[in-house]
Amino acid sequence: MVVVGFDVKWHQLSARREHRVHREQVLPDAAGLDVAELHRLQIKIAAVMESVDVAIIGGGQAGLATSWHLTQARVDHVVLESGRVAETWRSRRWDSFCLVTPNQFIHLPGAKYDGPDPDGFLPLAQLVDYFQSWSDSFDAPVEGNSTVTKVEADGARFLLTLASGAIKARTVVVATGAYQLPYRPAGAESLPRDVVQLFAEEYSNPAALPPGAVMVVGSGQTGCQLAEELHQAGRKVFLACGRCIWVPRRMDGRDIFWWMVESGFLDRTPDKLPSPMARLLGNPQTTGHGAGYDLNYRVLHDLGVELLGRYAGAEGSTLHFADDLAASIDFGDARLLDLLSVINAGCPPKGITPPTFDMPPPFRVKTRTALDIARDGIGSVIWTSGYRPDYGWVKLPVFDDMGFPQQVDGCASVPGLYFMGVHWMRKNKSSILYGVGEDAEVVARHIVESRS
């Protein structure tokens, strides 16, 4: 038995760069082959094993930010991406999507926003172009249409399974998304099958839904925005509300995000969380549409969206809701007060006067605890009830009870394995456009240092 190894040009990744990998093949009986025959065999080998130094899995902002830093450090690597660069933004957002964080807080490494509209909110098409240009700018070695279906240990290396074969890697960075598996709440399975139901990431626009009223389940940033869009399109909208912070879009003329940055709110570390479950809380209710304005329970109620408590399940054509809307509203108010206290404490040391903000009085609405699908004319249901981690394909013992990776600064306990883009990985800002670059720099430094 003989192991043959040879370097081949793996892919012409761009006009300016080609990537070379080392391939190995075990030949069961190579005795007696002369050099020319062996060479011919090497070329004919179909099921080759490719090996790379660093494999980054995922070509979103987390994977690309890591790739940018490794490129600066001249570490050979490849980015294995299921679809195209920024695939999540391309195919898992609705048509009218725009950023909720102002453009000036796009702090991607090598691509800090310096465009004409720092206070604006990039619409989806421009955001995708932004990602593509960024990736092109440093010739990111992205290998598209390459879904990794399994990562397992292989001695001191890792074995990655793809539809096209297997790859060995010395180092693996898992950067497959902050929002992975859309979550359907308990009781979802009891919804009658003839009601069209979809996840927020499958929703495109109001016209694509069947006629009739729409029930939106989940009242985070996405749920509120979809409820507003559907209402504006003339639909009757029911919003089944959960627990989420709301924020005023601006205070004293400054965007709320500016206050979060300056006060250190986004630099809070995971130990400041009240519980591990808090990692699942939705992003603040607000919007970047129309140059940005407030969008929360009070605003939606004034518009005419019918607010309900938590969705509790269906019995026949009856939909049940908890009688907990007041508690959910109070929860959102309390979390806003928490944020304000961080802002009020965090600004003075930086010489910034804390903002003036008048907290509105407690908000109470009469709610129904049941709807009838036929009588209320409900034609579709959109689940916007959050996400859960989905790392089942990473066959290594590095996950906590909730399925989040156990890591410190992105490093897992298995040497050579790293994570990126995880919620609260290092800080509150770890999974957003503002903060992912800082984590990528830390992870890339670990990788570089592990080689010296």
Ligand X SMILES: Cc1cc2nc3c(=O)[nH]c(=O)nc-3n(C[C@H](O)[C@H](O)[C@H](O)COP(=O)(O)OP(=O)(O)OC[C@H]3O[C@@H](n4cnc5c(N)ncnc54)[C@H](O)[C@@H]3O)c2cc1C
- CB-wise, 101 or 328, nearer to ligand X? 101
| Nearest residue (beta carbon) to ligand X | 60
Question: What type of residue sits at position 163?
Answer: A
Q: How far is the CB of 429 from ligand X (least distance, A)?
A: 8
- CB-wise, 88 or 263, nearer to ligand X? 88
287: three-class secondary structure by DSSP: strand
> Any alpha helices (H) in 177-296, and if so which ranges?
221-232, 256-263
Any residues with CB less than 8 A from the CB of 366 and at least 6 apart, and which? Answer: none
Q: Are 79 and 56 in contact (CB under 8 A)?
A: yes
- Cα–Cα distance for residue pair 94/103, rounded to 1 Å: 19
Q: How far is the CB of 309 from ligand X (least distance, A)?
A: 23
- Cα–Cα distance for residue pair 101/36, rounded to 1 Å: 61
Which of 296, 290, 295 is closest to 121 using CA atoms? 290
- CB-wise, 144 or 360, nearer to ligand X? 144
Q: How far is the CB of 121 from ligand X (least distance, A)?
A: 7
> Any alpha helices (H) in 265-354, and if so which ranges?
297-303, 325-346
- Cα–Cα distance for residue pair 72/64, rounded to 1 Å: 12
Q: How far is the CB of 257 from ligand X (least distance, A)?
A: 9
- CB-wise, 98 or 371, nearer to ligand X? 98
Half-sphere exposure of 315 (CA within 13 A, CB side): 5
Any residues with CB less than 8 A from the CB of 87 and at least 6 apart, and which? Answer: 59, 60, 81
Q: How far is the CB of 43 from ligand X (least distance, A)?
A: 29
- Cα–Cα distance for residue pair 226/248, rounded to 1 Å: 19
- CB-wise, 288 or 309, nearer to ligand X? 288
> What is the helix (H) or strand (E) element at residue 425, kind and residue range?
none
Q: How far is the CB of 205 from ligand X (least distance, A)?
A: 15
Q: How far is the CB of 222 from ligand X (least distance, A)?
A: 5
Q: How far is the CB of 206 from ligand X (least distance, A)?
A: 17
DSSP assignment of 112-164, as one string?
A: E--SS-TTS--BHHHHHHHHHHHHHHTT--EE-S--EEEEEEETTEEEEEETT
- Cα–Cα distance for residue pair 422/432, rounded to 1 Å: 10
159 alpha-carbon distance from chain centroid? 25
- CB-wise, 283 or 369, nearer to ligand X? 283
| Pairing of β 306-308 and β 237-240 | parallel
Q: Are 422 and 95 in contact (CB under 8 A)?
A: no
Strand partners for 174: 57, 419
> What is the helix (H) or strand (E) element at residue 174, kind and residue range?
strand 165-174
- CB-wise, 256 or 378, nearer to ligand X? 256
Q: How far is the CB of 20 from ligand X (least distance, A)?
A: 21
> What is the helix (H) or strand (E) element at residue 441, kind and residue range?
helix 436-451
- Residue ranges binding ligand X (CB under 6 A): 57-63, 80-83, 87-88, 99-101, 147-148, 175-179, 222, 421, 431-434
- CB-wise, 87 or 306, nearer to ligand X? 87
Q: How far is the CB of 224 from ligand X (least distance, A)?
A: 11
- CB-wise, 228 or 324, nearer to ligand X? 228
Rg over alpha carbons for the chain, rounded to the nearest Å, is 25
- CB-wise, 147 or 344, nearer to ligand X? 147
- CB-wise, 26 or 278, nearer to ligand X? 278
Q: How far is the CB of 336 from ligand X (least distance, A)?
A: 19
- CB-wise, 176 or 219, nearer to ligand X? 176
Q: How far is the CB of 174 from ligand X (least distance, A)?
A: 8
Cα dist. 309→161, 233, 379, 380 in Å? Answer: 44, 23, 20, 18
